[in-house]
Chain A
Amino acid sequence: MNNTSQIELDTMAEQAAELTSRRDFFRKAAAYSAGAVVATTVLADASEHTKANPKDDKNILEEKPWSLELGAPVTKNRYGMPSPYEHNVTRRTTDILSSGNMQASIAVTPIQDLSGIITPNGLFFNRCHGGTPTIDPNQHRLMIHGLLEKPIVLTMDELKKYPSVTRVHFIECPANGGPEWRGPQFNSIQFAKGFMSNAEWTGVYIKDIIKELGLKKEALWMLAEGIDNSHMGRTVPVDKVLDDAMIVWGQNGEALRPEQGYPIRLLVPGWEGNLCVKWLCRLEFAKEPFYAKEETAKYTALTKNGGKAIQHFYANEVNSVVTSPCPEKPWKDLKKGDLVEIEGLAWSGMGTIRGVDISFDGGKNWEEASLKGLVLEKSWTRFSYIYKYEGKDLLLSTRARDDAGHIQPSVKQERDTVGVEGVYHRNGIHTWAVSAKGDVTNVQILS
């Protein structure tokens, strides 16, 4: 666990200790107080000896300490914190996702706990190759150079003077689902699909900056580099740079968190998360690709086709997963005949989600689910299906499609096309096995 989250947890625990002691106090105080008897019930007149009804919810009949005393002053938590009761909603990691230590690893998002399409900044997944630096924005610079007539250096204040753009996009690590090419391994949606998050980003289109810098015709590629320990670099084709690539400083209304590249990161909408270089310091234009370290050592996908690996694998393909129910949030307390909403997320790095199909028999037969809420390009999109619970075993699969004409392949189709050694870009149809009791487990369908 990183230091930040330990500090957060400690703060939450302190709040909790305070709450506990206040509740203790309340109980003790009540014992001393003449008003103690009435204070424990909200019934208007306790002396009426209202007959207890076994259906009574004591949470309604009993007074709660938080309604009988003052709450925290507005001066507490100048930067707000989640309720201490939510302390289990947190990023998580596991050793096999690390390249040696917790500075070259990933902490994944609890998508089981999220509502809507926006990931809170504190829960946005964090992948780094050399730890999270604490950068002084006053000392940070962005250099844009290479095949340009006018190479420049920008301070953060100068960068933010450019006309800004605000867009909602997901960032997904191409290894999302990657440990499961040869079969399911995680009985958890957080680990099976949580290498991604979705946020509203504010920044500037790179095309809006370089149009005044005289980009040379022979420039075909752009290197983006970070100034952290890892000096992470990635090569982006100029075609994409001139379409929708951005330098962003804002995330969900506030400055980027340090884990997300404070003060600035590259955003390459829809493409592999590692292209969205954090702690961005340099953009260099060139006529040949750069072959930065992680472009070879990590982010290439080996196929079964003659042992060739796909390099420069860009867009995260169309994908979907049911978030409710899921292993962390099984179906509980449902009776036969209850109508229950099946909910999930669909996304495509190549365009906008057009629809999601749902299957209850592992993909033999399908029905169309509904999309709901905002349907934005290269963004998480919520889908919904009202299901009549029958208390029987299900194989719950979903298949998304986008406006670029892509349809999620079955696990079999995907394995038949690229094999099982690719690590990255696995978007085969995801399936949860739901038991008659409502328990959910992670499976793959090989039909």
Chain B
Amino acid sequence: MYKSYLKKIVSSSIVASVVLLGTTCNASSDDAKKVAKSSNSVGPAKAEVSDSVKRTYANGKKVIDGGVTYPIVNGQTGAYAANEKAHKAAVKFGKPATANEIKAWNIDVMPDGTGLPEGSGSVEDGEELYETKCVSCHGDFGAGSGSYPKLTAGNAYEMQKTMVNQRVGGNDEGPKRTFGSYWPNASTLWWYIKTGMPHPAPMSLTNDEVYAISAYILNINEMEIDGELVEDEYVLDREKFLKIQMPNKDGFIPKIDGPKGPDNVRAFYDDVSNYGNGIRCMKDCFDGEAKVQKIKMAISDFTPPLSNEKSLPAAPKGAKAEHPGKAGYEKHCAVCHGTEAMGAPMLGNKKAWAKVLKQGKDTVYSNAIHGKNGMPPKGGTSLADDKIKEIIDYMIEEAK
């Protein structure tokens, strides 16, 4: 049965095969399990469903993303153990959010105008603000600079038509995705400017300033509101803002608005022909040799550059040179002088070293070289006198 399946998949379009498989899957759970064993599963309708792997959420609705879910069955979800009681317990912490708190943080602006405050600003004012606060990144007339985003690609209505362009087969004219040509809702612009711009100082613009800058951006995209071109003297306010019709309003799938929104998304991702899926062919999957596309212009200005070296990093610039006695101290002397417990003057103990130094530096050197009390000559090493002195100098430094 499954060979004929594969032929159908290969010979028919993916859409058709998914419909076919979907029917099989829904026929009965036994059938679904048989299908699941086949290694030629194609698309979400062929999920390996069982009690512990489902195509639905807890409320019985189909998944929204083309995937599967792992309900808790006998204290187990997928490979994980779960404490079911913990998820059922009526745990509640925190405090009620006050009206002021919500007002302070509820900064989003929705397409229907929810969150959009009153205010107004002209294109002329917007241009002035743009020249002082925006131009350094977004360039003259929103043309962009460096890799900062362009705010316009020309007339929004004309540029919207570039969305069908594909840069294949020598066509280098790609789609122009800017605010005017691409975005489905103007509310996003207001929200973006208010809470995210200017980039180094977000939330610093007044509502009127945001209206003014929005008006300027509509102007450089050569857009109309209610049939009227947004020219230099145009004054934008809340009422006019809500009348903006974006040229690419219908350029997006699936449709997410309205009470059916999530169900549209569900249906969209249930159909792999919308975003692609493979076929598990194992032998002679195409004619002739593989057609290889190689790198034309490699991007390799990586920070830091790639390296497999297992090496010590270079010393940092301006790093202080280490005291020449430090390494010797750590190797030979720290065993006793690194701790109070041995009775030896400890490294960094100012009081102990002050007492030692009362004898004079030369006596300290001499005692270290020839030994005194618990201190063996040269600390039991065979280091040269100069090296011992270097170590003493280091220990004196550390106690300063």
Contact = CB atoms under 8 A, between A and B. Distances in A.
Contact of A239 (B64, B89, B290): B64
Nearest to B326: A21
Given A13-B312, A296-B182, 20 more contacts: A13-B319, A25-B331, A92-B302, A100-B148, A101-B199, A130-B199, A143-B97, A162-B93, A205-B87, A208-B86, A213-B92, A229-B202, A302-B175, A310-B252, A357-B280, A363-B286, A366-B281, A406-B277, A420-B167, A421-B174
Contact of A418 (B175, B195, B276, B292): B276
Interface in B245-293: 251-254, 256-259, 261-262, 265-266, 269, 272-293
Contacts of A395: 290, 292
21 contacts: A9-B316, A10-B316, A13-B315, A26-B327, A32-B382, A33-B381, A33-B383, A70-B334, A86-B310, A92-B304, A130-B199, A151-B96, A187-B300, A291-B187, A308-B251, A348-B67, A351-B68, A405-B42, A420-B166, A444-B293, A447-B289
A167 B251 contact: no
A155 interface: yes
A16 B168 contact: no
A329 B308 contact: yes
Interface stretch (B44-52, B236-244, B366-374): B44-52
Interface of B: 14, 39, 41-48, 53, 55, 57-59, 61, 63-70, 78-80, 82-83, 86-87, 89-97, 101-102, 105-108, 110-112, 137, 146-149, 161, 163-168, 174-175, 177, 179, 182-185, 187-188, 191-192, 195-196, 199, 202-203, 251-254, 256-259, 261-262, 265-266, 269, 272-304, 306-316, 319, 322, 326-328, 330-331, 334-335, 338, 381-384, 387
A405 B43 contact: yes
Contacts of B187: 291
A66 to B, nearest CB: 11
A121 interface: no
Contacts of A100: 137, 146-149, 199
A377 B161 CA distance: 41
A126 to B, nearest CB: 13
A231 B188 CA distance: 13
Nearest to A378: B67
A90 B309 CA distance: 12
A59 to B, nearest CB: 14
A441 B191 CA distance: 44
Would you list the 10 A-B pairs with minimal beta carbon distance, nearest first? A362-B290, A307-B163, A350-B67, A405-B46, A163-B86, A16-B312, A100-B148, A417-B276, A25-B327, A407-B278
A326 B251 CA distance: 39
Nearest to A300: B252
Contacts of A296: 182-185, 188
Interface in A318-338: 328-329
B79 A190 contact: no
Given A93-B302, A212-B91, A270-B67, A421 B165 contact: yes
A169 to B, nearest CB: 11
Given A163-B87, A231-B196, A444-B293, A99 B149 contact: yes
A418 to B, nearest CB: 6
Contacts of A55: none
Contacts of B303: 1, 92-94
Contact of B92 (A95, A183, A212): A212
Contacts of A26: 327, 331
B370 to A, nearest CB: 17
Contacts of A87: 311-313
Contacts of A207: 87
Interface string A234-245: 000111101110
Given A186-B299, A239-B57, A405-B43, A417 B256 contact: no
A291 B188 contact: yes
Interface stretch (A43-51, A249-257, A396-404): A396-404
Interface in A49-108: 69-70, 73, 84-88, 90, 92-96, 98-101, 103-104
A441 B292 CA distance: 12
B42 A407 contact: yes
Q: Is the interface of B mostly helix, strand, loop or mixed?
A: loop
Nearest to B71: A243
A230 B202 contact: yes
A185 B257 CA distance: 38
B184 A152 contact: no
A114 interface: no
A413 B43 CA distance: 14
A270 B69 CA distance: 11
A258 B252 CA distance: 34
A392 interface: no
Contact of B96 (A90, A152, A351): A152
B312 A90 contact: no
Interface in A264-294: 270-271, 281-282, 284, 286-293
Nearest to A212: B92
Given A34-B382, A231-B107, A186 B199 contact: no
Contacts of B283: 365-366
Given A357-B280, A365-B283, A95 B301 contact: yes
A221 B310 CA distance: 49
A383 B147 CA distance: 38
Contacts of A375: 79
B274 A366 contact: no
Contacts of B277: 406-407, 409, 413
A134 B129 CA distance: 30
A163 B286 contact: no
A152 B78 CA distance: 32
B136 to A, nearest CB: 10
A408 interface: yes
A403 to B, nearest CB: 4
A225 interface: yes
